[in-house]
Structure 1
């Protein structure tokens, strides 16, 4: 089963890009480096061109959260690694309408692999986070203003597995909502 998923992903993305390419169409950037922050974290990322409309995004950073009771509020930040092929599905439509497509400004669909290692945590409490591996399907939009400032908004869902839990509840539903502001180099 685990071998079928990468083959299926490769087949879908190759079928999407199997059509003839025109030199008068938009394309994703060869490589984009950047920093982003959201409500609960900060990340460094790179997007590298795989095909005309697909980029591979790799990201390293810290995801954060808050927990506690009415009298005690605690925070935690954990390191995270994400690998995400993104299909920028609206590049051609935006290009034909004369809209900005620089720095991968378009709507996208993606399949995001997430790894939270049990290396360390930054917290005001003694917290231990289990190593986790997840996979989510996402839809989102990326907009870049003034050549460097990015805005991303997206929604998705998938599953995650606690790699250290040997019980039946080790796999769970993983919703994903993101709103990020960033700077591209």
Structure 2
């Protein structure tokens, strides 16, 4: 018999270590039964263009993400017998990201001092075997720095491990 979460609500506390290309540590805290606030500290991929040398380099930037998520389908997933453990549900959210322009593992830094993105996103999060966490979200956002501003697509993917949970 499968052990499933029987509460139609978010976890009180969830700490995850995200792996793959952009490692990070993420803490997700319940605000209401259907909403959470997520704080994530890590790195993200980016590019730097050098117009003089006509080259583009892939670099890593330190980032801080603060996200608000509204999980809307806990009850429906439970009625279908699906897992809702560790916030395994779909959500609408507001994703906010702050990136420092000082790159990691590179001698190149962009002209910007920082870059901020504010985006509306739709996402899903699933946890398998009580520990393996998968999150995918996409949307559109507004990005700005001290020298530029732009409208941009937002796509985030993380694969991580649940380090600590309190339901």
Deviation at 1:146, TM superposition (A): 0.6
Is 1:184 the counterpart of 2:166 in the alignment? no
Q: CA deviation at 1:125?
A: 3.9
* Match among 150, 153, 162 for residue 172 of structure 1: 150
Structure 1 residue ranges, 4+ long, deviating more than 4 angstroms after superposition:
66-69
Structure with higher helix content: 1
Give the alignment partner of residue 47 of structure 1, picking from 28, 40, 43.
28
If each structure's strand is expressed as a fraction of its own residues, which one has the higher value? 2
What is the aligned residue count? 154
Name the TM-score, length of structure 1 as normaliser. 0.75
Match of 2:139 among 138, 156, 173: 156
How far apart in 2 are the matches of 1:73 and 1:155?
A: 25
Q: Which runs of 5+ in 2 are unaligned?
A: 1-5
Please give the residue correspondences for 1:21-40 in structure 2 after superposition, counting only pairs within 5 Å. Answer: 25-39=7-21
Alpha-carbon distance between aligned partners in 2 of 1:95 and 1:79, rounded to the nearest angstrom: 38
For 1:73 and 1:175, the matched residues in 2 are separated by 20
Residue 64 of structure 1 aligns to a residue in which SS?
A: strand
Is residue 83 of structure 2 the alignment partner of residue 100 of structure 1?
yes
8 Å Cα contact 1:64/1:78 also seen in 2:
yes
Between the aligned partners of 1:117 and 1:67, the Cα distance in structure 2 is 13
Alignment RMSD, CA only? 2.1
CA contact (8 A) 2:62 2:104 kept: no
Identify which of structures 1 and 2 has the higher relative contact order when contacts are C-alpha pairs closer than 8 Å and 6+ apart.
2
Alignment partner, residue 68 of structure 2:
85
Q: Structure 1: how far apart are the matches of 2:48 and 2:103?
A: 14
Cα distance in 2, alignment partners of residues 35 and 133 from structure 1: 23
Contiguous gaps of at least 5 residues in structure 1: 1-23
**TM-score, normalised on structure 2?**
0.83
What is the aligned partner in structure 1 of residue 3 from structure 2? none
What SS class does the counterpart of residue 101 from structure 1 fall into?
A: coil
SS at match of 2:82: coil
**Contact 2:48–2:109 at 8 Å: present in 1 too?**
no
Q: What is the CA–CA distance in structure 1 between the aligned matches of 2:90 and 2:119, rounded to whole Å?
A: 17
Could you tell me which residue of structure 1 aligns to residue 121 of structure 2?
138
